[in-house]
């Protein structure tokens, strides 16, 4: 048996010296190490028929040889491969082998970016119901039943009876419905960011019945309009670019007083005014100092605490930032991979 | 609400030399937003007033006529015109003299139409860009032919479109905006209240109606000629009326018509135009009735009776009911309160005596009526915002003043005035310390005082100011925070500093589900999946397609359409639809969605649960692909002791025997497997699809961030690969479990491959796997390993009749 092993080894090394291509190398590998009928495999298989005394010695020899052969085959393989690639024309212009990549939806990308920016200044994200009581979406926000301001939201109602003072169940038309829920937790100060699906009864080239808003809420002692201005400016610079500026203008919302419209300076003309903007500015969304009635609804003492809130559309903001001229906002929710895979 | 007003008109009440763009910029930052600026007269230089001298039929075209028009030149202009408006000889109207290009883009060229020359064009207001209406502006004889219409209509002006926020109905007028502008620019507010003569001329009433006309509510007079009764004082807090007689109905002067046209209103006659003009000027709607058409010379403000009808000024009939507040005469409705007047009592060319109504209606009742009958107007838009009861008087006096001036009207009654008169002004004590506290900035006291006074506040006191709120702001200014806003905006938000909020660290930490959500998305995207977002709303059909119980779904009472009538209970059907729409473009699809599903609850909000659904379609080995995803995901979530169990074979989603439930102890985590072929057919899918559908909320509950350190082994391992031939029905799980029990030296068993070939025998397969042996305290000897291998082989032989290949 020992002899046989020795012979095998000699044969192998003789043969392998002569070959010059990978096909021949493969043949040799099969001949000696093939799983079914390799010469060495056969020997290894016969081991258990040997008397115990011999088995150990031969076993070690055979296994050693197996390793040796495998090692040699690897070496020759590398050698031949290198020769092959040297002789063939090495074309560096052939496309690289890219790993298969997936794609996050644009909305997820926007949300992650926004969250990251606000987390850096101490805001943390919250989750509130998408199906909400009217009380949280309107009444607690200083909009009593029948208030005309309620008409500004094209609200979807749930087909169930109203329940006491909480009113009807609705698909929340804005993330502001989280404000009083956050206050009710009774933990002050508050720095929360709420990004959620919102729903309004409209669908056309620039409206989808389901969209996303992000809402910031800060409540503390001695919060000033200057704090809101600073926070908005910080966000605008982080999100849109360091050369951009935010400004606030008077506006009106029932749940803030004063209320503001927030603008960001146009990135194309730097606030000078061009075709893409309104006199140098682009409208971002609403903001304001929280109305004392809203603080009261959340059981926060308006004499001690004040705060600000802002809430804007995620899709709108992101498309503005990316400068993506997507002709129809509904494309975001049609899930055509030819679209989604671009981002 | 967007208002269109003339910049020149606005400037009658505050003097400024500012350019219109500077005005707009500053005004938008401190008051209301100027949305658009339009230069009105631009491009109208070539349009002049023409007087029609002759009209003839076109000899060769039925629908055309030709006119000779005096445009102040020696030779009259010849032009051809169609049938857009009725004109007669003597009319004076705008003529575009060829060649000219109008601001609307219309080019007027000299032409020869079927043998006749045309050197110009009669212009409609819409063609001149003055309004959207196809109407003709006629000039009276005071305008000489040939006068440029820019001069005739004083068109060197800008039209501003200003968006006024809903809390500021007081600024929804020229005077209201001018008051704001005066405050913003620190200029004097030049408005003066109307002071018409209210003396009733001795014979005015007799001439008009054959009997003296007197005020209805004056106690000492017997023959009340106009009696006003308000039956619902809550819905109509104030009603003022006045009778005027001997009015001469005719067109309004051009300057007035022009202001209405630019605001988007239509000139009718001088009386109606006066009410609309006052509405624009003061923001208080008025109505004018023909006195002689009011049955019984009575005005009753009351709810409509069920079944009553009215034909409104828009020419349409409206059915009324007890929820609609109306103005009625002795018998019939004559106006829908605050919304629109009735056709029957409207003024006509024959009208001699009129009643002006200047009233205040409760916003809610107006709002309900406009919604119920689906009719809105400039009036109802204002009433819905909530107007002050104080503005009725100014408005009616202004109407009287204008009627005296423009229609020769004479006052024929005293001013009838029912309802609220003496509401006390709102008083607010304002602590000046608030300014620094909210604005992070000191503003000098006299500056603050000046700002507030410019807005109409009466200011007394020091440090703590005693403020009296002007009546026109009584609805929107109620407390200190409102005063802060007034000071801050007029001072300028731009002047305030920018700071980042300081203060204590908030106590609440973030919900951990966000981190897990983001981990799952990152992993799936890394594994080549594309994320989709579907609407939360689905059709009942989409739910029943996969046998989900529609009863458990939340139903929307007012869905956009039946396709979006329910909130989804599952993400699966839409994922299948996503595959369907993409299958023609991709041979292999890997998609996922992580979103809420909604389960209805009786008296509570629905349960909102996160679900993660992923699908692999096209290509080979879809099942193993999702199984691998499931396993790796669970591993990454730190969930180890899970089990897979074959799903109930009656499940309508998964192919029989090819769907697995995932459990961790008693927690159901979800399912994965191959989608049933009848489902594929139902969804029109061309290739096999495997899905994974996890209850992400539960997954997050069980997830574990804990990492475990295992010391690296000290001694080397030994590997042995085996291939055995067994019956095809023997599963890998059975084999591996048996092998695993064999010996403590066996560290792990790894599956390598399955191979099926007739050469193996009928119903046989070859299973290849790798055994790894290791001892914790020594290097293994070959014999030890061989001995275990032998044992393994023989036990496989015994249990499954396996043989080595």
Q: What is the mean pLDDT of chain A?
A: 90
Please indicate, yes or no, whether residues A175 and A79 belong to a single structural domain of this protein.
no
Please indicate, yes or no, whether residues B259 and B177 belong to a single structural domain of this protein.
no
Residue of A nearest to B578 (CA): A335
Last residue of one domain, picked from the residues A27, A52, A87: A87
Strand partners, B589: B617
Reported confidence tier of residue A68, pLDDT bands at 50, 70, 90: confident
Is the distance from CB of B626 to CB of B672 less than 8 angstroms? yes
pLDDT exceeds cutoff 90 at A28: no
Strand partners, A249: A261
Do A258 and B489 lie within an 8 Å CB cutoff? yes
Please indicate, yes or no, whether residues B473 and B572 belong to a single structural domain of this protein.
no
A73 within some domain: yes
The CA distances from residue B214 to A31, B203, B415, B416, in Å, are 127, 12, 10, 10
> pLDDT, tens digit, for every residue of B22-60?
999 999 999 999 999 988 888 888 899 999 999 998 888
Do B556 and A171 lie within an 8 Å CB cutoff? yes
For B332-374, what is the HEC assignment? Answer: CEEEECCCEEECCCCCCCCCCCEEEEEEECCHHHHHHHHHHHC
Q: What are the structure tokens assigned to A34, written together?
A: 């093939």
Please indicate, yes or no, whether residues B523 and B598 belong to a single structural domain of this protein.
yes
Taking contacts as CB-CB distances below 8 angstroms, the residues of chain A near B435 are none
Question: What pLDDT is recorded for position B417?
Answer: 93
Residues of chain B with pLDDT under 50: 204-224
Please indicate, yes or no, whether residues A42 and A82 belong to a single structural domain of this protein.
yes
Do A247 and B29 lie within an 8 Å CB cutoff? yes
Q: Dump the DSSP string for B703-771.
A: --------PPPSS--EEEEEEEEEETTS-HHHHHHHHHTS-TTEEEEEEEEEE--GGG-TTEEEEEEEE
Residue from B501, B1, B440, B461 nearest B264 by CA:
B1
> pLDDT, tens digit, for every residue of B647-690?
998 899 999 999 999 999 999 999 999 999 999 999 999 999 99
- CATH code of the domain in which B381 resides: 3.50.40.10
Q: What are the structure tokens assigned to B242, written together?
A: 């006045």
* The residue to which tokens 């135009």 are assigned: B273
Please indicate, yes or no, whether residues B461 and B398 belong to a single structural domain of this protein.
no
Residue of A nearest to B164 (CA): A251
Taking contacts as CB-CB distances below 8 angstroms, the residues of chain A near B372 are none
The CA distances from residue B257 to A138, A234, B72, in Å, are 43, 50, 24
A150 within some domain: no
A145 within some domain: no
B230 within some domain: yes
Please indicate, yes or no, whether residues A27 and A114 belong to a single structural domain of this protein.
no
Question: What pLDDT is recorded for position B206?
Answer: 37
Window B:462-521, CB contacts with A under 8 Å: 479, 481-482, 484-485, 488-489, 493-494, 496-501, 503-511, 513-514, 518, 521
Please indicate, yes or no, whether residues A9 and A81 belong to a single structural domain of this protein.
yes
A144 within some domain: no
Do B482 and A257 lie within an 8 Å CB cutoff? yes
Please indicate, yes or no, whether residues B731 and B667 belong to a single structural domain of this protein.
no
Q: Helix, strand, or coil here: B159?
A: strand
Query: Which among B591, B608, B723 is the nearest to A130, CB-wise?
Result: B608
**Ordered strands of the B33-39 beta sheet:** B2-6, B158-163, B33-39
Report the domain count for chain B.
Answer: 6
Please indicate, yes or no, whether residues A179 and A294 belong to a single structural domain of this protein.
yes
Q: Which of the listed ranges A8-17, A76-85, A175-184, B83-92 does the model predict with the highest average pLDDT?
A: A175-184
Query: Which among B484, B505, B564 is the nearest to A122, CB-wise?
Result: B505
Question: What pLDDT is recorded for position B583?
Answer: 95
Please indicate, yes or no, whether residues A63 and A17 belong to a single structural domain of this protein.
yes
Please indicate, yes or no, whether residues B651 and B636 belong to a single structural domain of this protein.
yes
B534 and chain A in contact, CB less than 8 A:
yes
Please indicate, yes or no, whether residues B56 and B178 belong to a single structural domain of this protein.
no
Residue A257, marked binder: yes
Question: What pLDDT is recorded for position B134?
Answer: 87
Do B500 and A192 lie within an 8 Å CB cutoff? no
Question: What pLDDT is recorded for position B202?
Answer: 65
Helix (H) or strand (E) holding A60: helix A52-87
B723 within some domain: yes
Residue of A nearest to B507 (CA): A187
> pLDDT, tens digit, for every residue of A197-219?
999 999 998 899 999 999 999 99
Residue of A nearest to B501 (CA): A227
How far B530 CA sits from the closest chain A CA (Å)? 4
Q: How far apart are CA A219 and CA A191, in angstroms?
A: 7
The CA distances from residue A236 to A212, A244, A264, A311, A321, in Å, are 18, 7, 7, 14, 10
pTM as predicted? 0.84
The Cα angle at residue B730 between residues B728 and B733, in degrees rounded to 5: 130
Please indicate, yes or no, whether residues A112 and A80 belong to a single structural domain of this protein.
no
Query: Which among A100, A156, A199 is the nearest to B528, CB-wise?
Result: A100
The CA distances from residue B44 to A15, B123, B313, B584, in Å, are 101, 11, 33, 57
Window B:410-429, CB contacts with A under 8 Å: none
Residue of A nearest to B520 (CA): A104
Q: How far apart are CA B40 and CA B22, in angstroms?
A: 18
Is the distance from CB of B647 to CB of B654 less than 8 angstroms? yes
Task: Give the domain extent around A283.
Answer: 106-132+171-340
* The residue to which tokens 């390793």 are assigned: A67
B782 and chain A in contact, CB less than 8 A:
yes
Residue of A nearest to B604 (CA): A163
Reported confidence tier of residue A55, pLDDT bands at 50, 70, 90: confident
Residue of B nearest to A164 (CA): B603
Please indicate, yes or no, whether residues A307 and A270 belong to a single structural domain of this protein.
yes
Please indicate, yes or no, whether residues B101 and B133 belong to a single structural domain of this protein.
yes
Residue from A21, A65, A104, A14 nearest A341 by CA:
A104
How far A39 CA sits from the closest chain B CA (Å)? 16
Do A218 and B501 lie within an 8 Å CB cutoff? yes
Task: Give the domain extent around B17.
Answer: 2-40+158-184
Do A56 and B782 lie within an 8 Å CB cutoff? yes
> pLDDT, tens digit, for every residue of A231-240?
999 999 999 9
A153 within some domain: no
Do B560 and A146 lie within an 8 Å CB cutoff? no
Taking contacts as CB-CB distances below 8 angstroms, the residues of chain A near B564 are 209
Query: Which among B29, B498, B504 is the nearest to A229, CB-wise?
Result: B498
Taking contacts as CB-CB distances below 8 angstroms, the residues of chain A near B442 are none
Q: State the virtual CA torsion across B207, B209, B212, B215 in degrees, nearest 10.
A: -120
Do A340 and B600 lie within an 8 Å CB cutoff? no
Please indicate, yes or no, whether residues B348 and B479 belong to a single structural domain of this protein.
no
A225 within some domain: yes
Please indicate, yes or no, whether residues A41 and A125 belong to a single structural domain of this protein.
no
Q: How far apart are CA B99 and CA B107, in angstroms?
A: 7
**What ipTM was predicted for this assembly?**
0.85
B755 and chain A in contact, CB less than 8 A:
no
Please indicate, yes or no, whether residues A20 and A82 belong to a single structural domain of this protein.
yes
Question: What pLDDT is recorded for position A49?
Answer: 81
Last residue of one domain, picked from the residues A87, A119, A150: A87
Among residues of chain A, what percentage have pLDDT more than 90? 57
Window B:236-295, CB contacts with A under 8 Å: none
> pLDDT, tens digit, for every residue of B182-233?
999 999 999 999 999 988 876 544 333 433 343 444 433 333 389 999 999 9
A112 within some domain: yes
Q: A114-149 burial by CB neighbour count: b if 16+ within 10 A, else e?
A: bbebbeebebbbbbbbbbbbbbbbbbbbbbeeebeb
DSSP state of B60: T
Q: Best interface-test mutation with A: which of B435, B502, B506 has the largest number of A CBs within 10 A?
A: B506
Strand partners, B410: B245
Taking contacts as CB-CB distances below 8 angstroms, the residues of chain A near B557 are 156-159
Please indicate, yes or no, whether residues A23 and A124 belong to a single structural domain of this protein.
no
B190 within some domain: no
Report the domain count for chain A.
Answer: 2
Do A59 and B783 lie within an 8 Å CB cutoff? yes
- CATH code of the domain in which A289 resides: 3.30.930.10
- CATH code of the domain in which B736 resides: 3.30.70.380
Query: Which among B364, B438, B564 is the nearest to A225, CB-wise?
Result: B438
How far B195 CA sits from the closest chain A CA (Å)? 35
Q: Best interface-test mutation with B: which of A107, A151, A159 has the largest number of B CBs within 10 A?
A: A159
Question: What pLDDT is recorded for position B351?
Answer: 94
Please indicate, yes or no, whether residues A217 and A312 belong to a single structural domain of this protein.
yes
The CA distances from residue B242 to B191, B342, B345, B460, in Å, are 23, 18, 16, 38
B300 within some domain: yes
């Amino acid at each position: 048996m020992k002899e046989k092993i020795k012979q095998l080894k000699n044969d192998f090394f003789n043969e392998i010296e002569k070959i010059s291509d990978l096909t021949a190398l493969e043949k040799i590998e099969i001949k000696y190490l093939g799983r079914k009928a390799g010469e060495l495999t056969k020997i290894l298989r016969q081991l258990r028929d040997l008397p115990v005394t011999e088995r150990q010695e031969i076993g070690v020899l055979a296994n050693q040889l197996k390793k040796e052969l495998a090692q040699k085959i690897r070496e020759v393989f590398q050698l031949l491969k290198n020769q092959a690639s040297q002789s063939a024309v090495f074309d560096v212009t052939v496309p690289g082998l890219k790993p298969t990549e997936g794609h996050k939806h644009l909305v997820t990308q926007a949300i992650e970016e926004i969250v990251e920016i606000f987390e850096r200044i101490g805001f943390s994200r919250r989750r509130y119901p998408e199906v909400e009581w009217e009380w949280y979406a309107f009444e607690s926000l200083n909009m009593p039943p029948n208030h005309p301001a309620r008409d500004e939201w094209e609200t979807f109602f749930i087909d169930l009876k109203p329940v006491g003072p909480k009113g009807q169940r609705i698909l929340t038309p804005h993330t502001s419905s989280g404000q009083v829920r956050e206050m009710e937790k009774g933990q002050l100060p508050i720095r929360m960011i709420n990004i959620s699906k919102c729903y309004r009864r409209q669908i056309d080239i620039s409206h989808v019945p389901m969209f996303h808003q992000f809402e910031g809420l800060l409540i503390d002692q001695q919060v000033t309009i200057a704090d809101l201005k600073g926070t908005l400016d910080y966000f605008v610079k982080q999100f849109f670019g360091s050369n951009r500026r935010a400004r606030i203008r008077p506006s009106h919302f029932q749940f803030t007083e004063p209320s503001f419209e927030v603008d960001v300076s146009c990135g194309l003309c730097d606030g000078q005014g061009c075709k893409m903007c309104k006199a140098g500015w682009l409208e971002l969304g609403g903001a304001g100092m929280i109305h004392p009635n809203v603080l009261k609804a959340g059981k926060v003492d308006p004499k001690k605490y004040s705060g600000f809130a802002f809430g804007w559309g995620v899709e709108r903001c992101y498309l503005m930032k990316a400068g993506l001229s997507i002709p129809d906002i509904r494309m975001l929710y049609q899930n055509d991979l030819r679209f989604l895979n671009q981002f | 609400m967007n208002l269109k007003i003339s910049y020149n008109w606005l400037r009658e009440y505050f003097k400024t030399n500012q350019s219109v763009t500077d005005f707009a910029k500053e005004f938008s930052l401190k008051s209301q937003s100027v949305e658009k600026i339009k230069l009105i007269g631009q491009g109208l230089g070539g349009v002049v007033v023409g007087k029609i001298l002759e009209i003839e039929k076109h000899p060769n075209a039925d629908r055309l006529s030709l006119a000779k028009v005096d445009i102040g030149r020696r030779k009259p202009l010849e032009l051809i015109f169609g049938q857009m408006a009725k004109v007669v000889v003597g009319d004076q109207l705008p003529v575009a003299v060829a060649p000219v290009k109008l601001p609307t883009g219309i080019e007027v060229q000299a032409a020869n139409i079927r043998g006749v020359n045309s050197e110009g064009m009669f212009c409609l207001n819409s063609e001149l860009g003055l309004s959207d209406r196809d109407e003709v502006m006629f000039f009276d004889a005071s305008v000489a032919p040939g006068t440029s219409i820019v001069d005739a209509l004083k068109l060197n002006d800008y039209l501003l479109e200003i968006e006024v926020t809903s809390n500021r109905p007081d600024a929804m007028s020229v005077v209201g905006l001018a008051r704001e502008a005066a405050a913003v620019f620190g200029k004097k507010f030049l408005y003066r209240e109307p002071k018409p003569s209210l003396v009733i001329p001795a014979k005015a009433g007799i001439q008009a109606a054959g009997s003296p006309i007197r005020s209805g509510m004056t106690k000492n007079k017997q023959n009340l000629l106009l009696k006003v009764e308000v039956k619902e004082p809550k819905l109509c807090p104030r009603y003022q009326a006045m009778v005027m007689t001997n009015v001469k109905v005719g067109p309004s002067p051009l300057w007035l018509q022009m202001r209405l046209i630019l605001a988007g209103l239509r000139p009718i006659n001088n009386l109606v135009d006066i009410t609309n003009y006052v509405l624009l000027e003061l923001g208080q709607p008025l109505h004018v009735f023909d006195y002689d058409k009011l049955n019984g010379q009575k005005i009753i403000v009351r709810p409509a009776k069920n079944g009553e009808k009215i034909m409104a000024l828009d020419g349409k009939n409206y059915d009324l009911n007890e929820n609609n507040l109306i103005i009625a005469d002795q018998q019939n409705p004559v106006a829908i309160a605050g919304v629109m007047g009735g056709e029957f009592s409207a003024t006509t060319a024959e009208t001699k005596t009129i009643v002006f109504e200047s009233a205040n209606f409760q916003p809610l009742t107006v709002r309900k009526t406009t919604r119920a009958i689906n009719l809105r107007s400039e009036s109802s838009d204002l009433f819905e915002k909530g107007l002050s009861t104080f503005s009725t008087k100014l408005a009616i006096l202004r109407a009287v003043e204008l009627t005296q001036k423009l229609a020769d009207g004479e006052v024929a009654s005293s001013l009838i005035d029912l309802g609220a008169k003496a509401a006390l002004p709102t008083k607010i004590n304002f602590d000046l310390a608030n300014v620094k506290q909210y604005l992070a900035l000191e503003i000098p006291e006299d500056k603050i005082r000046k700002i507030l006074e410019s807005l109409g506040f009466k200011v007394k006191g020091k440090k703590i100011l005693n403020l009296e709120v002007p009546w026109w702001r009584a609805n929107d200014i109620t407390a200190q925070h409102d005063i802060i806003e007034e000071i801050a905006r007029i001072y300028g938000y731009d002047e305030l500093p920018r700071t980042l909020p300081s203060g204590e660290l908030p106590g609440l930490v973030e919900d951990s589900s966000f981190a897990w959500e983001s981990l799952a998305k990152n992993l799936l995207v890394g594994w080549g999946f594309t994320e989709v977002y579907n609407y939360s709303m689905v059709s009942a059909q989409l739910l029943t397609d996969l046998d989900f119980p529609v009863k458990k779904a939340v139903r929307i009472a007012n869905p956009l359409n039946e396709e979006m009538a329910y909130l989804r209970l599952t993400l699966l059907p839409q994922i299948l639809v996503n595959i369907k729409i993409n299958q023609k473009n991709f041979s292999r699809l890997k998609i996922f969605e992580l979103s809420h599903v909604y389960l209805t609850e009786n008296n509570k909000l629905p349960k909102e649960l996160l679900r993660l659904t992923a699908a692999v379609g096209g290509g080979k080995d879809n099942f193993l692909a999702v199984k691998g995803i499931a396993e790796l995901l669970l591993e990454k979530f730190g969930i180890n002791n899970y089990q897979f169990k074959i799903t109930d074979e009656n499940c309508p989603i998964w192919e029989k025997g090819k769907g697995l439930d995932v459990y961790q102890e008693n927690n159901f985590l979800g399912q994965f497997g191959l989608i049933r072929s009848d489902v594929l057919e139902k969804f029109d899918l061309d290739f096999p699809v495997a899905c994974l559908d996890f209850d992400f909320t539960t997954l997050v509950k069980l997830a574990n961030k804990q990492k475990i350190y295992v010391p690296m082994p000290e001694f080397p391992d030994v590997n042995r690969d085996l291939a055995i031939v067994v019956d095809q029905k023997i599963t890998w799980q059975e084999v591996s479990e048996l092998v695993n029990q064999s010996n403590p030296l066996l560290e792990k068993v790894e599956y390598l491959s399955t191979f099926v070939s007739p050469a193996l025998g009928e119903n046989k397969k070859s299973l290849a796997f790798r055994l790894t042996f290791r001892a914790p305290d020594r290097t293994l000897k070959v014999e030890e390993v061989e001995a275990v291998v032998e044992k393994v082989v023989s036990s496989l032989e015994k249990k499954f009749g396996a043989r080595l290949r």
